[in-house]
Structure 1
């Protein structure tokens, strides 16, 4: 359906792709992954409108191929006075009305031939998108996403997450040959995320989905496209199998690297000896021997395997604090309430201690962000902040923390850094190197903007962090680096997140929004609740065993015990078959 052959493309300030090739074929559900700023969204733009871009190489798209698209930045049109059913069925209803109108016109018109032609075209278009069954198909999609209750609601009344799912349904029902979705999971709560999983898995056409969500990656796709360092890698199979393949390659490369390193060391020793001899023995044969050894060394260096997909460099996120506090209460919320058009939260009471790491969990539109923002602003009668607390805030609305008109350098000078060299040195830990630091923040991807927010939070050295969807738009490597930083952080964290893995891997307990108030739940109970709702009975145990074996492999590789690592890899392969 789509073939990309040796495609290269660059912006004036950045080269994105260098001779990349891949295909998209019938029945493939493809996850498109890669670190932030690697050019995933730009490649999608090229696929959708190749005439706009001056690229090198070949892009072959079947001329009959229709493309559907769901943007990561879709905005709800509050002015549209239409129901959910009418919104999803807009194309069907429009064609249906057109057919009815033509039939009415045929009753009185003398130009029957022209009208018959128009009627047939409209009928063919209606049939091509399954028009006869459109009401039934809409109902099936709504039921699949557990959103039948929204059918007669106005679109303007939907939460952002609900609207995203409605958009996905609308595109799917038009039956495009290729459907492209750019981070459709961002900000979806877990129930809506599960609904998205069901919609993806039920879709019959080709899918290309940019996502960093580990839940979707592990449960939805049969092909992986991985874009990194201007190169692309295709893998036919599940994400979990792709990671297993990378791990096997990593072990082979590390073993080979050590063997090569030892050979290079021996060769360098011989070269040093030959050079030493050459200083007092000027025989031509000695010079030739030295020259041959140097060339051999150059060949050894040249054949070192470069594997850009095996070991992606994680950012070095460090969450240090200036003022470490003893075990004391840092945030107290007493009888907190919040309402907009309706009451969202009422009689909310909880306290956070100085080393607590806590996730606030609740459906979209239940007041989580408002609560976190009120704690940050500290101007609400129901909220009390300890006098020794310094708070840092990461917002899901990135413009609340970052100034789009600033360059990256300017943003961090404003944040208190003394010199541009200080900023450059600091930001290199977060993957911002070279000319990118002179770019306007407005030009960055969503993932890059969230990385900048994390860098600002870390630079503050605050002892209480308020994080609103910190993993949104972040690639999986950065998510793992953030989890590690959170684990090592010595202060308190209050985090809103719909990313299940970030919550269970980094938080001490959760605050669940339930019936307009908040109750505390242990991590063990929360994990069991999620797994009971969405997985087979033995899935939790299999996943925990898998994680345990992966940690043993990591330790074996640190000790360069490759034989043990290979034995453990066989054990891991058997566990992966259960997932």
Structure 2
């Protein structure tokens, strides 16, 4: 065991966080610590490192166990040293050895003393044993993985924002390689490439890791055990987050049944006692029944800590087919080019995730679309577009003298006060909290109010910049559910892969200063990227081997096979200079590409209908009505047959396009 809690109870005043909790962390464990906001996850981490002391019980640590603890409070650290020096401070012992070796080298040069020579040799050997000769390389590798460019490494730490500072401190902690890493929301300040790099790094980490995170993708890939803080107890699950979701539902159902059965038994015994305790012939039996009830180990009712409140959108107007059109848009910050003569369209029904590494200009492009950022080129709104824009800077637009509830009333949503209270519950404001003044709220709380205002508006087009940053997992799920039912369109920037994978039907990426569009979900985009990477590797290997054969493009089920084509407007292939232009082939290719795009749209609609039918079949109410069930089941089978037919046509058209393009090359 590295660290453990033994029968620990911890209280904040009269509030109990955990009662009689026992938890032992073993070597090489990958643990996800989860629970709703306010249940005490960060408090437990502080108990493990000794920042808090338990009210009862003990915190046990093995002798010599080293612990690294990444948390928001670390941001109070400040220095004028470069970020490379801050990260290198992880190797304190190596740096001391380097100083000793330098000092001994000077003394040896001056005296030639044999004793100093031996000490000098011993220090060199120790430095080699500790891997001291490659610490600069390892440090730079980690900093690059977390998104820093080579030119940044010499810049002072204090020049960087809070998010980038946290990356430096994470790099330092990883390089220290403690026996136990405690990571409190480590992905909060990372972009997608950095999160993916961190996953790969931690998967090969030799110590144990405990992670508090609202990123489901991250937890599913990283952990093999879940510890849940629930009803002031610790509950253990041997699996990842997805396993926990399934197992938790089963446990809750079993507990509910057991509770109901026990309550029925208690009612029967109480009726017997009430009826017969006054009768002399039955008094002894009634007394025995009372004793049985007193000794009964009572099963707790299943408490719904966070009810499944629905977020509902209202839309007043239906917009035209094109919501926003960007033409020849260019945006630069000095030498830093964000987009250069880029063009794109957002159509009615688009649910776009704008993704990529930090610094690529995602938020800048979102502001251009919203009309709050200067640029060269043209941005044109479509007919009947009513937009709503959520971003961090909008916190300044909140009236600090309003209460949260009063601020929500300014939106003109026509929702009742009770409906607004219910909605605010989804954004983690409950009870008397909604009567707090905006001016006393934290930055995260203000962000949640601004997001709630955006959601409650009757807009038919939403622009959302990192909407999940200050939400817990349950609230993210509610938001996903609402966006899936939302009849309008949206474009969002997010690094939450679960959120993107569930909400978006298109992916935008800024690449080579252009807007590349992929018609498909995030998971399909990932599959396509991996396939393209394999094809590129195969092509490189073939070229290296002197093989002139071109790797065959693999057709994907659905949309992903031709995603590279979707990124640019479909055009006819250009013939070589020494070949005659074949107008018939060009015409046929254009016809096929048009047919291909129509099939894509049809498949998207049929898939959307399939999701709706699956939801209907998952609704218990459907099974209580025989007619409704029969209709839903018939519609689902018909939908499946239609989807199979369309996919077959899709593959045939794709193959024809590939064949024609091959002939024209």
What do residues 444-483 of structure 1 show as CA deviations (whole Å, max 9, x unaligned)?
Answer: 7887665444433333343332211222353332222211
Say if 1:394 and 1:466, in contact at 8 Å, map to a contact too: yes
How much is the aligned-residue C-alpha RMSD, in angstroms?
A: 5.2
Distance 1:315 1:373, change over 3 A: farther
1:421/1:360 Cα in 2 relative to 1: closer, same or farther (>3 Å)? closer
**Residue 459 of structure 2: SS of its match in structure 1?**
coil
Q: Residue deviations 1:485-508, cap 9 Å, x none?
A: 111122222111222332232222
Partner Cα separation in structure 1 for residue 110 and residue 622 of structure 2 = 83
Provide the residue aligned with 2:403 in structure 1.
410
Which residue in 1 is equivalent to 2:194? 192
State the shift of 1:204 in Å: 0.5
Matches within 5 A, 1:283-322: 284=279, 303-307=298-302, 313-322=306-315
> 1:274 Cα shift?
11
Counterpart CA distance in 1 for 2:283 and 2:427 is 48
* Map of 1:522 onto structure 2: 519
| Structure 1 residues 518 and 372, CA gap change in structure 2 (3 angstroms) | same
Over 3 Å counting, the alpha-carbon distance change for 1:134 and 1:362 in structure 2 is closer
Q: What corresponds to 1:506 in structure 2?
A: 503
2:30 is matched with 29
Of residues 176-185 and 54-63 in structure 1, the stretch that sits farther from structure 2 once superposed is 54-63
- 1:69 maps to 69
Alpha-carbon distance in structure 1 between the residues aligned to 2:188 and 2:122: 39
Corresponding residue number in structure 2 for 1:361: 355
* Alpha-carbon distance between aligned partners in 2 of 1:282 and 1:45, rounded to the nearest angstrom: 53
Q: Flag the 1:290–1:390 CA change in 2: closer, same or farther, 3 A.
A: farther
Aligned residues of 2:139 and 2:175 also touching (Cα < 8 A):
yes
Alpha-carbon shift at residue 31 of structure 1 (Å): 1.7
Distance across 1 between alignment mates of 2:424 and 2:298: 32
Instruction: State the 1:200 CA deviation.
Output: 0.8
What secondary structure sits across from 1:18 in the alignment? strand
Instruction: Give secondary structure in 2 for the equivalent of 1:413.
Output: helix
Residue 442 of structure 1 deviates from its aligned partner by 8.8
Residues 396 and 559 from structure 1, CA distance in 2 versus in 1: closer, same or farther, beyond 3 angstroms?
farther
Change (3 A) 1:105 1:243: same
TM-superposed CA distance for 1:343, in Å, is 0.8
**Does residue 493 of structure 1 match 2:497?**
no
Q: Is the Cα contact below 8 Å between 1:317 and 1:458 reproduced in 2? A: no
Aligned equivalent of 1:331, options 307, 324, 338: 324
Q: How many residues align?
A: 535
CA deviations 1:551-570 (Å, max 9, x no partner) are 8996579969xxxxxxxxxx
State yes or no: 1:531 paired with 2:527.
Answer: yes
- TM-score, with structure 2 as normaliser: 0.65
Are the aligned partners of 2:11 and 2:18 in contact in 1 as well (CA < 8 Å)?
yes
Higher relative contact order (CA 8 A, sep 6+): 1
Encode CA deviations 1:135-181: one digit per residue, 9 max, x unaligned.
464477579x497x945653649998887655434322222222222
In structure 2, stretches of 5+ residues that fail to align are 535-555, 558-606, 625-665
Contact 1:36/1:448 (8 A) holds in 2: no
Per the alignment, in what secondary structure is the counterpart of residue 494 of structure 1?
A: strand
1:475 to 472, 476, 480: 472
Q: Does the CA contact (< 8 Å) of 1:358 and 1:509 recur in 2?
A: yes
**Offset of residue 40 of structure 1:** 2.2
**2:620 & 2:228 partners in 1: Cα distance?**
27
Residue 574 of structure 1: aligned partner: none
CA contact (8 A) 2:90 2:173 kept: no
Structure 1 spans left out of the alignment, 5+ residues:
561-579
C-alpha deviation, 1:417, in angstroms: 6.2
- Equivalent position SS for 1:511: strand
Are the aligned partners of 2:309 and 2:423 in contact in 1 as well (CA < 8 Å)?
A: no
Q: Call closer, same or farther: CA 1:363–1:95 in 2, change over 3 Å.
A: same
Pick the structure with greater CA Rg: 2
Q: Distance in 2 between matches of 1:152 and 1:472?
A: 29
For 2:391, the equivalent position in structure 1 comes to 395
SS in 2 for 1:194: helix
Partner deviation per Cα, 1:392-439 (whole Å, 9 max, x = no partner): 333357855768x77xx7233234369998865653454433454466
